[in-house]
Structure 1
Amino acid sequence: MFLFKQKNTKKKQPKSSVLQPSSVVMEEIRHMETSQQQQETVRKICDIFGEDNDFTQRGFIVSNDIPANVFYLNSISDKETISKEIIKPLTESNLIIVEVEAAMERVCKNILFHADVKTETKLTRIVEGLLRGQTVLLVEGIKAAFLIDTYKGEKRSISQPETEQVIRGSREGFIENIQSNTALLRAKLPIPDLRVKSVTLGTLTQTNVAYCYIDGIVNEALVKDVEERLANIDVDRIIDAGYVEQFIQDNPRSPFPQVKSTERPDVVVGNLVEGRVSILVDGSPFALIVPATFAQFYQTSEDYNERFIMVSMVRIIRVFALLFSLIMPSLYVAILSYHPELIPTSFAVAITSGRAGVPFPAVIEVFLMEAAMEILREATVRMPKQVGGALSIVGVLVIGQAAVSAGFVSPITVVVIALTTIGSFATPAYNMAIGFRMMRFPLLIMTGLLGFYGLVLGLLFVNNHVLSLRSFGVPYFSPMAPLNVAGLKDTIIRAPLNWLLDRPEELHTRNKRRINPNDLGPSNALSPENIKQSRGGQKDNE
């Protein structure tokens, strides 16, 4: 049931670097180029965008009676920039076209004030530039078109992430703009070794995807693997980071996530410093981190801002809550249905009296309550925020109490399901928590059929599957399996920061050491012994 077929690890040949046509129009104009006769190029562009209300063509005269045209899309272009930095400098210039190359160089270097100007002759590139907010400039007598970046897109302000809130830590979160997200990483990693490379994915959406890593730390084989997996994505749309995650993970049939997603720049920076690769997708506030191991999904950025003793206790509680939420309903059914002799006598009387009149077996009762809780949870998430909180309270209190009063479920079952639900919320990563929640149902069915034997058999299947998983070649249960004693310092517990001398061994980084052990330890400059020694043994009052 939990033994999923592993994905074929044989590497595919990467796609050609030539941009694939994104539509029928792009296919038709693939081999077309601009003409030195401006009207011919104007006609081609107008044939493509002429029926679009968002498309604007503006003709004007450059000095010496040279006609020119600019093309742009109103919704994504900055009109003020077009007027002040393109049209005005050209109309006030003294442009004379004698040699085409010299005229192009003068327009780029002496006339246009904009920082991002390039020339292009292929019509496909010109159309793509228009669709990305660039302004196209055509000047009579010059074959090439000038592409000026005048993009002006709407974006929300940087705020605290909704899904990863912390008490002590940064309040910055990623937004849907990839340039802003890259800037957040640059601000926290102001080093030239930070590499940000981009690719375009989605033949229709043409989504900008960037992958980031620190050169000199990350293993080069990991970077090449990420590049190949991104190059092998051949789909018409990439709308969110979740699309990319499903294409690059090793085993898409597994209920466990093999790619970590986060909204926090500090989490990305911490993983980049450890030697991982991060992937940003334009239009998504989530960043992907590869490779990912099981331990990462119950850790938070706040774990490194607090004292190690407190953090270690909190991590143990998270792991206990994770296991409790997975096995508690099945364990309850196994004891109640197959092994009631394990229940203490005083407690058995309470359970028996509570179940008096319940028409369903224990497994059906728990299964229905689990299904009802998942429906309620899903409804709460999808409802508006003002209504969702009230719905959750009504669902838990009113419906639960009514079900007990009507005799459909026993009070102890409601308590077990409530504790299980609360335990599932202790997992910081939503995609990991939902995987464990869904696995409770097959475990419950196996326990209902076979009792304790079915529960143990199901857990063995789950354990076997987790141990077989890999994320970009890294064993999913590293550093616990295969065992790496040094790596255990930052798994279920978190050792003091000055003990975490090396980067994770499973990442095989080029620069393994991250703390200089010679610089560790306090100097105790103001201790009485040091003060007395610095004064030559004299008394304080002297």
Structure 2
Amino acid sequence: MEKSLLTKNFKNNIDLISSKIPSNSNFIIRDLILKGNIKCVILYINGLSNQEYIERGIIYPLLFKIDEELDNRENICSYLTQRYISCYDCKITQNINDICYSLKHGKCIILTENNDSCIICNTIGGSYRSITESTIETDIRGGKESFVESLEINIALIQQKLKNKNFKMESFIIGDESETDVVLMYVENIIDPKVLNNIREKLKSIKAPYIPDVGYLSQHMEEYTFCSFAETKVTEKPGKAISDMLQGKAVIMLNGSPQVIILPAVFIEFFQAFEDYSNRLVLGNFDRLLRIAAIIIVLLLSPVYLTLLEYNVRFLPLPLIKVLINSRLGIPLSPFLEVLSMELIIEFLREGGIRLPTPIGQTLGIVGGIVLGEAATKAGIVSYVTLVVVAVGVISTFVIPNYEMSITIRFLRFPLIILAKLFGFFGIISGLYIIFLSIVSKDSFGIPYFSPFAPLRSSGLRDTILRAPLKNLNSKPKIFKFTKNKEKKNE
């Protein structure tokens, strides 16, 4: 970007700055006459700046506190900031690009005549949502605060709890049109430098006109576009972000987003909850085993049920076969269409409940499921056993703590149902093999996605399906280290 500077022509300076700022009604140009008939102008964007602070801390002292002639001062900007302006953060610059950037981010500019410098005052204000409890990630224990849309507030939430001297932040501007502020956070002595450089390069390579949310940002950074498994985690909880940084990961904050990105991420992490470490060892491990069982149920219950009905009913005991026969008497749909239609209806209800306001969405999910299920079975369209199988699968998806992984697992059961219809148990095994192959073959910013299982890293097995006691987890993890294969690939 070409670097343009201010000159001593007062009017030209104002015109140059105004030409680079949208000429909307909220762009304020406040003219002042200082002691000695020195012309001065204050520029700011109303709504982004704290107007009350500008009036009290800048305009008032410049108009009523100056009791001396200023025309003989060589460096009038420096003198004003040291003696009269009460703003806590002031900077003197000649760079037009810095001036325009500061204006767009809520700061105000003070220009004086016959001066080729200006004062930038930090008057960032505006209205932001107050810190509240997350409605998506609910925890019984731990802090209840969650991130908000203000980047400054989110940074403060991290710094309140993480007072490590090696905690570092790097700023980026992403979005050719939106110029969105992005902050990369990490703990310098813990994160692998090669992983950090990989993340930096990904951020610098993003070319997009507008980045409104962390979901856009993560898609631009991920390498495996058509893989359904996410390479990054998203959270609204400051405690989770800090915990992951202390494991050797980085956190990316986006101005205007109440969520942050945590990267890199490995597969097993998506089934671990933050509360697992607050609960006692046995109870925390029991919860993790429940989640593994839930994954198996969501993926395999409907496909195995369909395969047993259409291909391998002889595997079932005779009493259960009689129950299945009686439940399917008069059902016009084939088992495949019966299972598929019910699974799709459940997804319709779930998606509709998300889009509607919370009270209506909850009512739709509960009442809609009960009414449709009862009506379908009484009308003889769906058997009672099929309804139970689908309902158990739906309940199991609620056990998965990560929303993105829950969506992925829910999606994968549909290909498995189709493969079960076409090839029976061979189709299910083939589908699971393809899923496993996609997990093992990918990585997340240089970290093997199926680590620490493949490649096997024994030190990382202490916190996977089961976790060890907390006193054995205090050492720095070694699984988030850059792999040689990835290093050679980048070279």
TM more than 0.5: yes
User: What's 2:12 paired with?
Assistant: 40
2:127 to 128, 135, 154: 154
> Contact 1:36–1:140 (CA<8 Å) still a contact in 2?
yes
Matched letter for residue 97 of structure 1? D
* Residue-by-residue CA offset, 1:88-124 (whole Å, 9 max, x unaligned): 2223322523464x32321232232212222333333
Equivalent position SS for 1:133: coil
Measured in 2, the distance between the counterparts of 1:297 and 1:332 equals 27
The aligned runs of 1:414-429 (5 Å cut-off) are 414-429=387-402
Measured in 2, the distance between the counterparts of 1:47 and 1:312 equals 62
The TM-score with structure 2 as length reference comes to: 0.94
Matched letter for residue 391 of structure 2? A
Measured in 2, the distance between the counterparts of 1:270 and 1:75 equals 35
Task: Quote the sequence identity (%).
Answer: 31
User: What's 1:130 paired with?
Assistant: 103
> Contact 1:117–1:148 (CA<8 Å) still a contact in 2?
yes
User: What's 2:454 paired with?
Assistant: 481
Measured in 2, the distance between the counterparts of 1:501 and 1:168 equals 20
Single out whichever of 128-137 and 113-122 deviates more from structure 2.
113-122
Matched letter for residue 123 of structure 1? I
Once the two structures are TM-superposed, the CA of residue 183 in structure 1 deviates from its matched residue by 1.0
Measured in 1, the distance between the counterparts of 2:404 and 2:94 equals 46
Structure-2 change in CA distance of 1:51 and 1:216 (3 Å): closer
* Residue-by-residue CA offset, 1:14-43 (whole Å, 9 max, x unaligned): xxxx5xxxxxxxxxxx66543312122223
1:170 to 143, 146, 158: 143
Structure-2 change in CA distance of 1:74 and 1:399 (3 Å): same
Equivalent position SS for 1:334: helix
> Contact 1:97–1:141 (CA<8 Å) still a contact in 2?
no
Question: Which of structures 1 and 2 has the bigger CA Rg?
Answer: 1
User: What's 1:431 paired with?
Assistant: 404
Once the two structures are TM-superposed, the CA of residue 51 in structure 1 deviates from its matched residue by 4.6
Matched letter for residue 41 of structure 2? N
Matched letter for residue 374 of structure 1? E
Once the two structures are TM-superposed, the CA of residue 501 in structure 1 deviates from its matched residue by 4.7
Equivalent position SS for 2:227: coil
User: What's 2:50 paired with?
Assistant: 78
2:89 to 104, 116, 126: 116
Single out whichever of 255-264 and 216-225 deviates more from structure 2.
216-225
Measured in 2, the distance between the counterparts of 1:119 and 1:95 equals 21
User: What's 1:370 paired with?
Assistant: 343
User: What's 2:71 paired with?
Assistant: 97
> Contact 2:268–2:464 (CA<8 Å) still a contact in 1?
yes
> Contact 1:308–1:496 (CA<8 Å) still a contact in 2?
yes
User: What's 1:296 paired with?
Assistant: 269
Once the two structures are TM-superposed, the CA of residue 214 in structure 1 deviates from its matched residue by 0.9
User: Is 1:278 equivalent to 2:243 in the alignment?
Assistant: no
> Contact 1:174–1:286 (CA<8 Å) still a contact in 2?
yes
1:383 to 356, 359, 362: 356
Measured in 1, the distance between the counterparts of 2:425 and 2:19 equals 72
* Residue-by-residue CA offset, 1:58-83 (whole Å, 9 max, x unaligned): 11111111111111122222222212
Structure-2 change in CA distance of 1:114 and 1:314 (3 Å): same
The aligned runs of 1:260-279 (5 Å cut-off) are 260-279=233-252
Equivalent position SS for 1:505: coil
The aligned runs of 1:458-497 (5 Å cut-off) are 458-497=431-470
Single out whichever of 208-217 and 330-339 deviates more from structure 2.
208-217
**Coordinate RMSD, CA, aligned:** 1.7
Matched letter for residue 111 of structure 1? Y
Structure-2 change in CA distance of 1:177 and 1:51 (3 Å): closer
User: Is 1:190 equivalent to 2:163 in the alignment?
Assistant: yes
Measured in 2, the distance between the counterparts of 1:379 and 1:426 equals 20
Matched letter for residue 187 of structure 2? I
Once the two structures are TM-superposed, the CA of residue 155 in structure 1 deviates from its matched residue by 1.3
* Residue-by-residue CA offset, 1:223-261 (whole Å, 9 max, x unaligned): 111111100011111111111111112312110111011
Measured in 1, the distance between the counterparts of 2:229 and 2:48 equals 39
Measured in 1, the distance between the counterparts of 2:460 and 2:111 equals 60
2:80 to 107, 117, 120: 107
User: What's 2:489 paired with?
Assistant: none
User: What's 2:287 paired with?
Assistant: 314
Single out whichever of 370-379 and 104-113 deviates more from structure 2.
104-113
Measured in 2, the distance between the counterparts of 1:95 and 1:491 equals 71
2:24 to 47, 52, 56: 52
> Contact 1:336–1:362 (CA<8 Å) still a contact in 2?
yes
Equivalent position SS for 2:115: coil
Matched letter for residue 70 of structure 2? I
Structure 1 alignment gaps of length 5 or more: 1-17, 19-29, 510-542
> Contact 1:178–1:282 (CA<8 Å) still a contact in 2?
yes
Matched letter for residue 67 of structure 1? K
- Count residues with an aligned counterpart: 480
Single out whichever of 40-49 and 340-349 deviates more from structure 2.
40-49
Measured in 2, the distance between the counterparts of 1:505 and 1:43 equals 56
User: What's 1:407 paired with?
Assistant: 380
Once the two structures are TM-superposed, the CA of residue 360 in structure 1 deviates from its matched residue by 1.6
The TM-score with structure 1 as length reference comes to: 0.86
Once the two structures are TM-superposed, the CA of residue 47 in structure 1 deviates from its matched residue by 5.0
User: What's 1:355 paired with?
Assistant: 328
> Contact 1:95–1:103 (CA<8 Å) still a contact in 2?
no
Matched letter for residue 247 of structure 1? H
Once the two structures are TM-superposed, the CA of residue 276 in structure 1 deviates from its matched residue by 1.1
Structure-2 change in CA distance of 1:294 and 1:38 (3 Å): same
Single out whichever of 168-177 and 446-455 deviates more from structure 2.
168-177
Measured in 2, the distance between the counterparts of 1:194 and 1:127 equals 29
Measured in 1, the distance between the counterparts of 2:467 and 2:437 equals 26
* Residue-by-residue CA offset, 1:340-369 (whole Å, 9 max, x unaligned): 101111111111111111112111111111
Once the two structures are TM-superposed, the CA of residue 398 in structure 1 deviates from its matched residue by 0.7
User: Is 1:228 equivalent to 2:201 in the alignment?
Assistant: yes
Once the two structures are TM-superposed, the CA of residue 447 in structure 1 deviates from its matched residue by 0.9
Measured in 2, the distance between the counterparts of 1:323 and 1:450 equals 20
Once the two structures are TM-superposed, the CA of residue 87 in structure 1 deviates from its matched residue by 1.8
> Contact 2:77–2:118 (CA<8 Å) still a contact in 1?
no
Equivalent position SS for 1:360: coil
> Contact 1:169–1:301 (CA<8 Å) still a contact in 2?
no
User: What's 1:516 paired with?
Assistant: none
> Contact 2:447–2:481 (CA<8 Å) still a contact in 1?
no
